Structure 1
């Protein structure tokens, strides 16, 4: 080091080492886990953190997981068992009013000691199949946080290396999927302990002053780059609003989301004042663990997307620093204890979509049209003949809106999620379920535009034995918006079919609905809005869409002004005339 600065070569070496440690932690976690939500979907996050709980590095997991871990650590600091860390400690934490994202996301923290002194933390989070809540896997219709299952607040699974057998026995008797829960926690412990060892090895190689000096420089660099991007946005207050369907119980009450993005110089504030009051179900959002990280995610995606950067930014705390968040206490984005807050994901996605909409007039080259901006999270469950539960958590894809230079991606995860789909072969091998349909929607068309919206997925799961399903989703009523002359997209829907073939239309959210043997649930994701004037879409591209069954001849004529013959060829002269008519 010279003048307190790490030389550029060493800085890059340490940057790469830190990121590799986080990636290795994530890899160990999902490879060692047993439940499909972790092993296949990778609903996880992992990273290293300093004594001030700054993110030094993060794995490429789900963005919400990563941004939330500093909140977990600040919460643990308020309630840590015994009040102090010791070598050999392993802490478990998931309390949503002590910084957690929501209760099923268990966090495991291992303190990093070097030469007898606490220097940082290795931590990860993972979504668990069942933590003993009121309904298997997912919960919506519950009165308070105590109905969400086991709540851990800074509790030591291991204390000075000694296993807390009583706590493990407690976990074993308070989960419907106890074996998976225990084994997945063990995988988290292995991941966090590995991260701690790797950080100690890095400190052995370069020393504390150099490693943390480099980490601070990297955070400052990321902050500077984020502030530079924010400074390119004209100062101003930018507004957008939308509505959530309901709170999962009160079907006649739509819930407003109001977003004001205040840009001042190189800083930005997201103000959610005016959004719905907290609700008497689990459809609330923990402020520290979910609302704030969702806002961070929005600006990281808009301003520092690797596709738009010459050099990828080191993933660390620096990207969070220029962003502040306001949500009044008692609102859906900042509930007051002990309100339930497990079903919190779709609200965050919709809020991110509205941040995009608010900024679209001044960032047209970086924003999209309306996205599906929801999440289909389904929990299927049943009892085996032995009396044991089986529980399966499934995340279904949505679609993005049209983009400045390309169509919206079809059947893709939603904004701040980064989970993979669960292979249907894996499903059939392990559970009494069959996937009858898994494809792009063909009952509606996405928003037309110079760049069309993405097409949502449809997936039908059928139970071979009787069981139940709980489903968390959104956007059955609020249509994804079109941008810059593009047309609106399509809302989603859910259908339940009984064994005799009777179809029932369902709301987006429902709790513990019985499915008989042979009964099924079909989820239809919303389709994205279009970006730009549909009449500017090349006629040949519209023809390709028709040939691919992404568009009909009738829709091509009505929305795009493209005339396609019954023989599926392009009539160029008729198209020119039709487009002249539509332009007036």
Structure 2
């Protein structure tokens, strides 16, 4: 039996592991070529043991890190443990073998120390185009084969020797080979760094000490999460909602149902009652995405770094107390060969529904309804040279009101942690112009003692003919208010032509839309729901929201019972406190 590692050495090794993961992530995004990785940082990196347990993770998009153990278990079906050799490098993206979805390509390298396989260095990153039916993103497609290249545990390098036919295959089957091949090289460099740093750590402290430390760190994180779960009263907690449609069958809502079953220090998320799988790509890979969303929800709710004084290692321990159930053949556990690429809005809603279900028993950790969606836009076209250009953009949204503070405005919330693209970078490289990028002003945030966050509005104008695919939802189901707060507002998508003035409203998700010169696509994200009774909101904050343009004078009166008087002081309005007291008393009585 290996002797336990002392607390000081344990802390040092834990810090070193996290530092390695951070370095891996930094190398990946700094060396990459496409803006979705280089600017948005849609990636994840970490180290894993021989049993595919997460030992450390970069502070990147939660989706990527939680899915990597699934990638490794999927790869094992093609490359078992005894088939790995030093210098191997495997590429993998198959959604029915553990991948989060097909554009998230995983790169895995084995870590050998003193001739023994001790673990893996791995990362994933979202690639801008993998040769699917429509450029960049897909929604309305018949099956998984229309998603593009499916790379199921294939060796890019075999004992250090480059697999040239595979490299050529990938290069020849993407619309933007310079971006994809450059991004793959960046992923390999990040994985190589992880291998080197893990070996150096073992050389410094000894293999057995490092591996024992990783076991203790995982147990520690597991114990911390179980301790927090145990504080929640046992019971079954249910929340429901719906998705707009599947991207093909308009007007047909897809039901969502989440049952959170708390038993002692463990929890199960049961998605029974949610929609059956759909005939488009609007399904969710179970191992690589559905499970990961549920793991994230409990770590975010119960192990938030800024609410704990203790050090919280980011590792496999946070997954162990959480069981996830979804019926085979449902939207959250589809059956091959159903397509499953457009899966992010659904898992955002799962996280939001978990929060809603638990809000009555952990109100101090809950929020009102978040935007809980993803606006993922693929802009593309063909240059005069015949080459494609493809640009992927993630738009911000808003969070719901929270205990003690308003919901943050125009942020990447819940599962997504990507960053926006600098408009200057966009204008220099692509035939698009951003006409508008600001806080949404056509619909107020959900009213509450702590209001919801304000959404974002962004307009992109085509300078040449092109195509567009938009993966999103929530044009029809507004984020909810909670504990007396009011609902937020739905999203919307407009298509207007600068030349003709023609205006059309688009559904939240659409595929391969042909665009003309002067077409302007405008996305309005949802606004967050309100937390608590709006009549308890500080009137000064209501005035501030009016002066900042988040709400109007009429909203202040109707939603908050706040009366504002026009004044000539440079601001335009001031509080009428006596009238506000009288109006609030009247509204409470009503």
TM-score (norm 2): 0.98
Q: Is 1:572 paired with 2:573?
A: no
The answer to whether the 8 Å contact 2:488/2:530 transfers is yes
Q: Deviations over 1:105-146 (max 9, x none)?
A: 000000000111111000000000000000000000111100
Aligned to 1:520: 520
Aligned to 1:532: 532
Distance 1:524 1:250 in 2: 23
Q: CA deviation at 1:252?
A: 2.0
Q: Deviations over 1:468-497 (max 9, x none)?
A: 100011101111100100000000000111
The answer to whether the 8 Å contact 1:89/1:160 transfers is yes
Alignment of 1:393-408 (within 5 A): 393-408=392-407
Aligned to 1:94: 93
Aligned to 1:300: 299
Q: Structure 1 residues 176, 81: CA separation in 2 closer, same or farther (over 3 Å shift)?
A: farther
Q: CA deviation at 1:83?
A: 6.8
Distance 1:378 1:397 in 2: 12
- 3-state DSSP class of the match of 1:256? strand
Distance 1:80 1:199 in 2: 21
The answer to whether the 8 Å contact 1:410/1:455 transfers is yes
Q: Is 1:319 paired with 2:318?
A: yes
The answer to whether the 8 Å contact 1:136/1:391 transfers is yes
Aligned to 1:251: 250
Q: Is 1:581 paired with 2:586?
A: yes
Q: For structure 2, list consecutive stretches of 5 or more residues without a partner in the other structure.
A: 568-572
Aligned to 2:502: 502
Q: Is 1:453 paired with 2:445?
A: no
- 3-state DSSP class of the match of 1:75? helix
The answer to whether the 8 Å contact 1:81/1:155 transfers is no
Aligned to 1:431: 430
- 3-state DSSP class of the match of 1:365? helix
Aligned to 1:55: 54
Distance 2:388 2:142 in 1: 24
The answer to whether the 8 Å contact 2:109/2:120 transfers is yes
Q: Is 1:370 paired with 2:375?
A: no
Q: CA deviation at 1:3?
A: 6.8
The answer to whether the 8 Å contact 2:358/2:366 transfers is yes
Q: CA deviation at 1:82?
A: 10
Q: Is 1:337 paired with 2:336?
A: yes
Aligned to 1:105: 104
Alignment of 1:183-198 (within 5 A): 183-198=182-197
Aligned to 1:156: 155
Distance 1:482 1:445 in 2: 13
Q: For structure 1, list consecutive stretches of 5 or more residues without a partner in the other structure.
A: none
Q: CA deviation at 1:319?
A: 0.3
Q: CA deviation at 1:208?
A: 1.0
Distance 2:361 2:390 in 1: 46
Q: CA deviation at 1:39?
A: 0.1
The answer to whether the 8 Å contact 1:375/1:414 transfers is no
The answer to whether the 8 Å contact 1:368/1:531 transfers is yes
Q: CA deviation at 1:566?
A: 2.1
Distance 2:484 2:81 in 1: 60
Alignment of 1:20-419 (within 5 A): 20-80=19-79, 84-419=83-418
Q: Deviations over 1:356-382 (max 9, x none)?
A: 000000010000000000000000000
The answer to whether the 8 Å contact 2:243/2:254 transfers is yes
Aligned to 2:570: none
Aligned to 2:17: 18
Moved over 3 A (4+): none
The answer to whether the 8 Å contact 1:81/1:154 transfers is no
Q: CA deviation at 1:353?
A: 0.5
Distance 2:552 2:135 in 1: 42
Distance 1:425 1:362 in 2: 47
Q: CA deviation at 1:8?
A: 1.0
Q: CA deviation at 1:179?
A: 1.1
Q: Deviations over 1:294-322 (max 9, x none)?
A: 00011111001112111241000000000
The answer to whether the 8 Å contact 1:447/1:487 transfers is yes
Q: Structure 1 residues 82, 418: CA separation in 2 closer, same or farther (over 3 Å shift)?
A: closer
- 3-state DSSP class of the match of 1:391? strand
Q: Structure 1 residues 170, 335: CA separation in 2 closer, same or farther (over 3 Å shift)?
A: same
- 3-state DSSP class of the match of 1:197? helix
The answer to whether the 8 Å contact 2:2/2:212 transfers is no
Q: CA deviation at 1:520?
A: 1.4
Distance 1:35 1:325 in 2: 34
TM-score (norm 1): 0.99
Q: CA deviation at 1:159?
A: 0.1
Give the stretch that moved more between structures: 311-320 or 505-514: 311-320
Distance 1:106 1:520 in 2: 31
- 3-state DSSP class of the match of 1:249? coil
Distance 1:39 1:347 in 2: 26
